Amino acid sequence: MTYWCETLLADGAAVSGVRLTVGESGRIERRDDEVAAEPGDIRLGTVLPGLANAHSHAFHRALRGRTHDDGGDFWQWRESMYAAAGTLDPELYRQLARAVFAEMLVSGYTAVGEFHYLHHRADGTPYPQPHAMELALADAAREVGIRLVLLDTSYLAGGIHRSLLPEQLRFGDGSAAGWLDRWSALRSVLETDAPGAPLVTLGAALHSLRAVPLEAMREILAGLPAELPLHIHLSEQPQENADCLAAYGVTPTAVLAGLGALDPRLSVVHATHLIDDDLALLGQAGVTVVMCPTTEADLGDGIGPARALADAGAPIALGSDQNAVVDPFLEMRGLEMGERLASGGRGRFSPAQLLLAASTHGYRSLGLGQTLLTAGDPADLVEVDAASIRTLGARPEQLVLAATATDVQRVIVAGRIVADRGRLVGSIAAAGTLDGSPAHLLRDALTALDAASYGKAIR
């Protein structure tokens, strides 16, 4: 299969007349620049590399538009999040995740890292079907056609030296050994279900220094494959830093350094509240920092030191986190606008650097390689309308600061068109909707979730 791009934007440069030849593996076999279209080519307009959502909690989408009128802060919002988590079962989770992944896909995300800790029933006991919640996410991703890296998360404590709260019981596995056993079994199941070049792969995560005791963290680090992508929330809230300093005498970053956890396979999420020594440690180790600008703004977390981290040597990737906003262009813009607000200067990240954060850095963070659209890369593409009311007049290289998800046209994952102008393609029957509309999927999922919540409230 061949795709001909009128304009291809990759590695910061706009190239005209690019033909991409895609093999059966879903990877680019050949790229030819400045060539004319040929009969049989699928013709695209302005094309970006596939965009990675490197940090998502799909079930948080149920809170969009429902928690904004009560004020408060992250900790107050967290109570609403726990209530939503307590309602989900495998079928409800599959419905909701399918709708959220579909929204991501039509918005331009071609891959998502799902930071997943809803492992068991609400009382903490396992489901009769092993890995029921994890397989619900995998099924949802396959149905809509998005790449999913399932970042199965260890969550063992309710705070430093504290037991899990009742509303956190479903997150836990009892011990590091319990989590490692379940993770290993899940890996075998996923590899058996989809051999070859699967859309769904397994990574790992440690929820945070608050939620994983040090000895458990040490055991997990020793028990995981060395090449595996590993993620952790880091210094999202000042309280996390204060608790860590009180318990261990050092910052969360320094704790990770002492455990030998800082290396290029690690991604830390948020990293909003850091000191200079933290910046140096993360940068020297080449740790990826996944920032989530729309969530960090929505929850009032603060503006992280993105430019300083990048200058220290830490690649910046982007995520949607709580999915109050699902738009990769707004995350890119939010990264740069936060820097402008904090510094008083424009252009702290160039458009090319923003696109790199949203594409290759995110893909590498998830263990998916790079997306520079050269031979060997995944054939993951995003076509953008360069002549909409938002983008008309923008130079191709600056489209990422003019476009929004509304401007996304065709989306291609592993060489296959999976979305076209806001509609799913090729998965309509599996998704259960006549027109491929993610809105219909989301309406049905939220209706079912609200009904389940009401039923629990009156029992």
Residues with active-site annotation: 270, 321
CA–CA gap between residue 130 and residue 279 (Å, rounded): 40
CA–CA gap between residue 24 and residue 22 (Å, rounded): 7
**Residue 311 burial by CB count (10 A; 0-12/13-18/19+): exposed, middle or buried?**
exposed
Three-state secondary-structure class, residue 57 = coil
Residue among 224, 309, 302, 238 nearest 268 (CA)? 309
- Strand-pair category, 13-22 with 288-291: unpaired
**Residue 181 burial by CB count (10 A; 0-12/13-18/19+): exposed, middle or buried?**
middle
CA–CA gap between residue 353 and residue 359 (Å, rounded): 10
CA–CA gap between residue 207 and residue 233 (Å, rounded): 6
Question: Residue 224 has which token pair?
Answer: 């995981």
Residue among 236, 237, 274, 239 nearest 257 (CA)? 274
CA–CA gap between residue 226 and residue 69 (Å, rounded): 45
Asked if residue 13 lies in contact with residue 344, where contact means CB atoms within 8 angstroms, the answer is no
Alpha-carbon Rg for the chain in angstroms: 21
DSSP-assigned states of every residue in 404-458: -GGGEEEEEETTEEEEETTEE-S-HHHHT-SS--HHHHHHHHHHHHHHHHHHHHH
Query: HEC profile for 245-260?
Result: HHHHCCCHHHHHHHCC
CA–CA gap between residue 376 and residue 70 (Å, rounded): 49
CA–CA gap between residue 265 and residue 364 (Å, rounded): 9
- Strand-pair category, 147-154 with 416-420: unpaired
Neighbours of 158 (CB within 10 A): 18
CA–CA gap between residue 416 and residue 381 (Å, rounded): 9
Q: Which residue matches tokens 């509609």?
A: 423
Question: Residue 258 has which token pair?
Answer: 């002492």
Residue among 238, 295, 291 nearest 268 (CA)? 291
Q: Which residues are 419's β-sheet partners?
A: 411, 424
Which residue type sits at 307? R
